[in-house]
Amino acid sequence: METQIALLRDYVLQHPDLELREVYIDNGWTGTNFQRPEFSHLLEDIQSGKINCIVVKDLSRLGRNYLEAGYYLQHVFPSLQVRFIAIFDGYDSATGDPESMVIAMKNIVNDYYSKDISRKISAVIDMKRSQGPHYMGAPPYGYQMSTRGKKRYVIDKQAAPYLHLMFKWALEGVPPHEIASYLNEMNAPTPSQHYYQLHPDREKSSRYRDCTWKGYSVRSILLNQTYAGDFVCRKSYFRKYDPGNSGFIPEEDWMIYPDTHEAYISHEDYAQLKKRLLSEMKHRKDRRKRRQRQIRNQDNPLQGIVYCGECGRRMRLVKKGESRCDWYFSCSGKEDYAHIGHQPYSAEYGELETQVLYNLQMQLKTAIDADNFLHSHSLEDAQTRLKASRNASLQMLYSRQAALTSQKKQAFEDLASGILDKETYQMRTAKLEQEAKWLSGDIERAKKRVAEIDTYLTPDNEWLKSFLSANISPDLDSRAVHQLINHIEVWHNSQILIVFNYADCMEKFLRCLKELREIGGKGLPENRHPDSTE
């Protein structure tokens, strides 16, 4: 790595048109994909304008996946106006063609070379495993690799006390989630935290700084046969040259070498503990499935349309009893690639159902009043009056537009006659053009407002038809709820946001009625919008 960096630095120094800004090193990361931290950092710096040229030793340093490498060379870098130089391949995008057959063949060779290396390494590993334990990667939590004699796992004295406590508590019947709580109270380092304590030279990921013990992490340790003194391998299959067959291998096909190192738990106790934990897991899974079936089989009108307002995740309906007062919509608040993290919270089903019913009834009342108005007044007369009002506003905008055109013409004449200097003229015309641009947008919106009268101020309005045809009763009907409501957002402070279907139709209809009332309409229904809804 040091030799490659020195080579690149010398190349940059020998070319006055290049200036070294940053060195990006993905040491230890596979080049067969582009999900690498420093490569992502490189792309961020390109987008921010920090760099506009990339220099590598050869094309394989960019990546060994010829499809993705070709995509970056032919599309991404040219679109970002980034120059790319591969020294040993004699390629410079400023003078070379990234779509040339030579470049394509070199990327293909790099791709097949990496797969060939993977095939050979995998064959060697399989051969060594067939001859006995073959140790790869970091040892499990609670173990270290021996530094003397034959390679094997030895007890890690720093983590050993926590492991002994975990197995002691588990054999006494303490559930994994309670064990996790005890460990957190003791400030016991998690496996990832302990790893970075043992390897302070390694780059720490920010997600490990504040991580805590969880029930599932404790359970995974308790079910790991390694702690019974056995070396277990070949639990999964992954080959770069054979990605289509990747996956986990059934337990009966694992390779197990018994009594290879000191154990934390005897084989008899491990078998008993494993049987109990798997039985508890199966019981919880079956109970969860039964509750889910009960929820699906009962009429739950809000199921599937309630979302967390904090992170956007669909909230899960938790059933803790038969009464709906014992049902809750819950959000775990866990952070993942698609959702931000936050404190978990829940909303009582019955209370949410009451608020939804109230809002539906208020909207229905507005819809009934609006329908009565349409049938008790001349619809054609109402449309004519509203069109006249909106057309008058449109004509005022047209008049303002004509005045701006006249002002621009007058400014040009003043420039020609010497009344205005060039700088003042440019400032004035720039201001007039900006106002004209805003005015053009106002005119387009005013035209749409005139045109939408025939579409929305009518008994055929989709919002009006959907509410008048729905069955809104004190016992909410699932079909009616899903017919009228798009989704519901629930927030920490108990505020809810109900987004109705055809909300745009409703808004434009009620806006028409409001304008009619302002220009002298009588008997028009009042808008009823509860504060908690849209």
Q: Could you tell me the domains of the chain?
A: 2-130 (3.40.50.1390), 136-276 (3.90.1750.20)
Average pLDDT (491-505) is: 84
Residue 187 scores a pLDDT above 80: yes
Q: How far apart are CA 527 and CA 534, in angstroms?
A: 12
pLDDT band at 532 (very low <50, low <70, confident <90, very high): very low
Comparing 296 with 316, which gets the higher pLDDT?
Answer: 316
As a dihedral over the C-alpha atoms of residue 103, residue 108, residue 113, residue 119, rounded to 10 degrees, the angle is 170
What is the strand order of the sheet 53-56 is part of?
A: 53-56, 83-86, 91-92
Report the pLDDT value the prediction gives residue 170, as an integer from 0 to 100: 93
- 104-111 average pLDDT score: 66
- DSSP of 178-242: HHHHHHHHTTPPPHHHHHHHH-TTSPPPGGGTT----HHHHHHHHT-GGGGT-EEE--EE--TT-
Q: Give the pLDDT band (50/70/90) at residue 295.
A: low
Least confident segment among 250-264, 355-369, 466-480: 466-480
pLDDT in the model for residue 372 = 81
User: How far is residue 460's CA from residue 462's CA, in Å, rounded to a whole number?
Assistant: 6
328, two tokens: 């809750």
First to last CA, the chain: 59
Digit-coded pLDDT (tens) for 18-54: 889 888 888 767 766 677 888 888 888 888 888 999 9
Q: Are 232 and 193 in contact (CB under 8 A)?
A: no
Mean pLDDT of 89-108: 73
The pLDDT-based confidence of 291 (bands split at 50, 70, 90) is low
Higher pLDDT, 201 or 493: 493
For residue 450, the Cα-to-chain-centroid distance in whole angstroms is 41
pLDDT attached to residue 529: 46
DSSP 172: T
| Alpha carbon distance 212, 217 (integer Å) | 10
Per-residue tokens: 14: 């020998």
- Average pLDDT of the segment spanning 61-87: 81
| Largest distance between two CA atoms of the chain | 106
Please state the length of the chain: 534
Give the pLDDT band (50/70/90) at residue 201.
low
Mean of the per-residue pLDDT values for the chain?
A: 81
Bigger pLDDT: 67 or 350? 350
What is the tens place of the pLDDT at every residue in 268-283?
Answer: 999 999 999 999 888 8
In this prediction, residue 197 carries a pLDDT of 79
Mean pLDDT of 198-207: 61
What are the start-end ranges of the E strands in 408-495?
485-490
Assign 308 to helix, strand or coil: strand
What is the per-residue pLDDT across 133-174, written as a single tens digit (0 to 9) for each? 777 778 889 898 888 878 888 899 999 999 999 999 999 999
For range 348-358, the mean pLDDT: 86
